[in-house]
Amino acid sequence: MRPNDTIFEVPIIIEPDEDGFHAYCPDFPGLHMCGDTKEEAFENAKDAVKGFLMVKLKYGERIPPALIRRKTKPAAFSAGAQKQQRETVDLALTFA
């Protein structure tokens, strides 16, 4: 990672659904994904958020300032034992 890279920290909420798991991003209304497992729902949401941010950057559209960070944090997902039905995952995406 270069010092001038921008990292976007995007919360993704993952919840059990009838047929698997539902993932959405509260900062981007309308961005909803699903998956058979939590990991699949997270990967699908991560791809959707990345595409969404890339389009916004390409066309110079506003990105919520709260999502922009300058620090090192890998995109990761832990599927450990859950005490809650709903889980929030911070997704860190790096764009040069």
List, in order of start, the domains of the chain with CATH numbers: 6-95 (3.30.160.250)
Tell me what pLDDT residue 87 has: 64
Closest among 66, 58, 40, 61 to 95, alpha carbons compared: 58
Which residues make beta-bridge pairs with 70? none
Q: With contact defined as beta carbons under 8 Å apart, do 77 and 33 qualify?
A: no
- Residue type for position 39: E
Mean pLDDT over 68-88 rounds to: 48
What's the whole-number mean pLDDT along residues 8-32?
Answer: 89
Whether residue 77 has pLDDT greater than 70? no
Which residues neighbour 60 within 8 Å (Cβ) at sequence distance 6 or greater?
A: none
Higher pLDDT, 72 or 34: 34
The answer on pLDDT for 57 being more than 60 is yes
Predicted confidence at residue 82, as pLDDT, reads 40
Mean pLDDT over 53-81 rounds to 66
